[in-house]
Amino acid sequence: MPFVYLASQSPRRSQLLTQMGVAHELLLPQADDPDPSDHPDALEALEATLAHEWPRDYVQRVTGLKLQAAMRRAQRRGLAGVPILCADTTVALGPRILGKAVDAQEAREMLGALSGQNHAVLTAVAVALDGQVRQALSVSQVQFADVSQVWLDGYIASGEWQGKAGAYGIQGLAATMVAHIEGSYSGIMGLPVFETYQLLQASLAQPVARNTSAFVHPSSSISNPHTQG
């Protein structure tokens, strides 16, 4: 089985790597890092959108910037010879990019906009090993049911909207509002398993052992997310 450094604080990505049978260790910024550009606050700023930026370009650009920061971090810490994996997820309603809501009011507005609508969830993945970078992009479509005010009030009160693109995670309470998806369920969670497997396999130039008993397999059309992973 491979070992990778995961440059992400997302528990969902760590969970999916574990399900793939990939041993990993977190490679995260520290507040006392000598490089100010690698402080947590500075890295959050990387997620700012550019004017007229399309969702596909945005998510790949942010992933690349985060990977570059992780590569510098690994170099400072004397870590070499191990793949570094980074990913970023965004939700797009047409050309509109829905990142992480800054407060409950913005989360409410985002979910209201998604109510009854079809939207895209894009996750970019990048793997670096010995200076060589490989990238992949997963794009899935999600159809939301009409969201009632009662449901919305309860969801906002739960706090599940925090730290999630589009103010929701498909693996939580929001699954009750997901009528249909097309694409990768794991990609919507935050780490497309198929694309990640392919990147690791190419980077290591050898087959990556799969934990088939817990493998989350993407489907081209999934109508009931509760049956997945």
Rounded distance between C-alpha atoms, residue 117 and residue 129, angstroms: 40
Q: Which residues, at least 6 apart from 159, have a Cβ–Cβ distance to it below 8 Å?
A: none
Element (H, E) at 143: strand 132-144
Catalytic annotation on 57? Answer: no
Among candidates 68, 86, 82, which has minimal Cα distance to 17?
A: 86
Q: Which residues, at least 6 apart from 7, have a Cβ–Cβ distance to it below 8 Å?
A: 26, 27, 28, 66, 67, 69, 70, 73, 84, 85, 86
Rounded distance between C-alpha atoms, residue 32 and residue 121, angstroms: 34
Give SS3 for 72.
Answer: helix
Q: Which residues, at least 6 apart from 224, have a Cβ–Cβ distance to it below 8 Å?
A: none
23 DSSP β-pair partners: 3
- The pair of structure tokens assigned to 46 is 């990387």
Angle at the Cα of 143 from the Cα atoms of 102 and 147, rounded to 5 degrees: 60
Q: Catalytic one among 88, 103, 130, 146?
A: 88
Are 170 and 143 a contacting pair, CB within 8 Å? Answer: no
Residues annotated as catalytic are 88
